Structure formats: C-alpha cells, structure tokens
Amino acid sequence: MTTLELSGRTALVTGAAQGLGAAIAEGLHARGAQVALLDHDARANGETAARLGDRALAITADLADLDRLDDACAEAVRGLGPVDILVNNAAMAPMRGLWDIDPAEWDAVFAVNVRAAFFLTRALAEPMRSRGFGRIVNIASLSGQQARPTGAHYGVSKAALLAMTRSFAAELAADGVTVNAVAPGMIETPMVHTIGAEKQAELAAQIPVGRIAHPAEIAGLVAYLSTDDAGFITGATYDINGGVFMR
Ligand SMILES: NC(=O)c1ccc[n+]([C@@H]2O[C@H](COP(=O)([O-])OP(=O)(O)OC[C@H]3O[C@@H](n4cnc5c(N)ncnc54)[C@H](O)[C@@H]3O)[C@@H](O)[C@H]2O)c1
C-alpha cells in the first residue's frame, strides 16, 4: 500500500452524520476506504452516507445505549467486512458552568464520550489484533488539555479519552494495532455554531493562526494516522489547535 492509500480497508466512524465525523468519513472514503457511518441521527446520517455513495454504510445507533454497541459493530462487519479503522469521534458537549451540571448530564456525557469509545474499542480491537492490523483514532479536544470555565464534564471526559488512548496503545502495540488521539481546538462545525457568530469571532481572534479550523484539516490527520505508513505512531496525542496550546 502506498502513502495515504486506504483502499481495501474498512473504517467505522462514530458521530459521522455531520460536522467533523462527516468530514472524517469523507476523508477516509476519498482515500479508498469502505466506511461505516454510525450516528443516532438516522436521517442526517443516511444523507451523509448517500452523499459518499458506494462503499458507505449508514448505521443508526445511540452510543449511550451500551447494549446496542456490539450489534452496531456486527452490522458494520456484515455490511462491509472486518473493521480495520475505528474513529471514536461522537461527543456531547454541553457548555454549562460547574454548579449547573447535574448528575444525569454528567453521566450522559461520560456514556457517549468515554464509555462508548471504551467498549467499541474493546469490541473491534480484538479482531484487529488477531488480524495483526488496526488503527484506532480518538477525537479528544483542547478542552481535555486546558481548563475552561464551562463544560467541565466535557473537558474531564476528553482528558479521560487521552488516558484511555494510552492504555489501549500500550495493550495493543505488539499486535499491529495503533491507538492515537487527536486534540483539536475550535473547528467550523455545527457544534461550534451553537455558541453564536459573535462569540465565535471573539474566540477566533485569540487563535494565533487567526481563524478556526476547517474540518478537512483535522480529517487529513485522521486519514494519515489510519494508513499503513503510520504504523510506528501509537499512544500519541496530536495537538491541532492553530497554535493556542504549544508544548
Ligand atoms: N467543533 C469543535 O470546535 C471541536 C473542538 C474540539 C474537539 N471537537 C470534537 O470533535 C468531535 C466532533 O465534533 P463536532 O463539532 O463535529 O460535533 P457535532 O455536534 O457537530 O457532531 C457530533 C455528531 O455526533 C453525533 N452524536 C452525538 N451523540 C450521539 C450518540 N449518543 N449516539 C450516536 N451519535 C451521537 C451527533 O448526532 C452528530 O452527528 C467531538 O468529539 C468533539 O468533542 C470538536
């Protein structure tokens, strides 16, 4: 296989109906992969899969429903064959102050952002390791690296995802399965539109690069991490934030 070539590979992308997930699904598909798009928004997900055309399969599943995860994986395998690439992208990001977060919302955020990623990874990593090849990419966030006054549960869930990335990376390193995290800053997606144009412009002005990211800029990195060429990269966190956080 040549650089950035993914034909013959099968990917499963969560939260693929819109925003970054749709861009990641598109990026993998454009490089030749077959792509299972998983989302709880059946209509939007179906439209995104239809836009990709051949080699794309829409799977409707609520990631908060633990009992549905194994079935969803089986659906992907039945439709497209064994999954080589898993992208844990879906997330809930309610931006609430510390004292406004109730236990139900805390649990809901963790169920989607962390628990689903853990159990999907476990379900799909086992067959990957038997085949001696796998690529797992977890979409974390700058919010898991830097504190913000709102969305503490979101930030803590993303920090947990970074730790989880390293745990799985260590466990799977010897079997040809890499596990990496991508930690983006602000990206032009529907999630960001919820904060309003004025606030968005104010935040963009604080980014050294002077703008927020295009989803395709994150998707390109995810595609690279999914290739054969990236086999020596594991347990890494890629900061992709326009220079907001450097280390
Ligand atoms: N947009 C940003 O500025 C930004 C910044 C840093 C990190 N991220 C991360 O990028 C990823 C994608 O974000 P986005 O901006 O595209 O978000 P988005 O809200 O635009 O899209 C999220 C997708 O996930 C799906 N989803 C949510 N809950 C689900 C559930 N329970 N079951 C199945 N599907 C579910 C939604 O239907 C949607 O299609 C997330 O992990 C987010 O934390 C985004």
Residue 175, domain member (yes or no): yes
Active site residue 154: yes
Residue 62, domain member (yes or no): yes
Q: Which two tokens stand for residue 11?
A: 């990917």
Closest approach atom of ligand 1 to CA 213: 3
Q: Is 221 in the pocket of ligand 1 (CB under 6 A)?
A: no
Q: Is 90 in the pocket of ligand 1 (CB under 6 A)?
A: yes
Residue 1, domain member (yes or no): no
Report whether 177 contacts 136 (CB < 8 A): yes
- Give me the CATH number covering residue 170: 3.40.50.720
Residue 3, domain member (yes or no): no
Q: What angle do CA 147, 18, 184 make, to 5 degrees?
A: 30
- Tell me which residue of 138, 99, 110, 125 sits closest to 221, measured CA to CA: 138
Among protein residues, the one with the nearest Cα to ligand 1's atom 36 is 15
Closest approach atom of ligand 1 to CA 19: 16
Q: Is 89 in the pocket of ligand 1 (CB under 6 A)?
A: yes
Residue 247, domain member (yes or no): no
Q: Which domain holds residue 231?
A: 10-239
Number of structural domains found in the chain: 1
Residue 245, domain member (yes or no): no
What digits encode the pLDDT tens for the residues 119-174? 999 999 999 999 999 999 999 999 999 998 899 999 999 999 999 999 999 999 99
Closest approach atom of ligand 1 to CA 88: 41
Cα 90 to ligand 1 centre (Å): 4
Residue 246, domain member (yes or no): no
pLDDT in tens, the chain (247 residues): 456 789 999 999 999 999 999 999 999 999 999 999 999 999 999 999 999 999 999 999 999 999 999 999 999 999 999 999 999 999 999 999 999 999 999 999 999 999 999 999 999 999 999 999 999 999 999 999 999 889 999 999 999 999 999 999 999 999 999 999 999 999 999 888 888 888 888 989 999 999 999 999 999 999 999 999 999 999 999 999 999 999 9
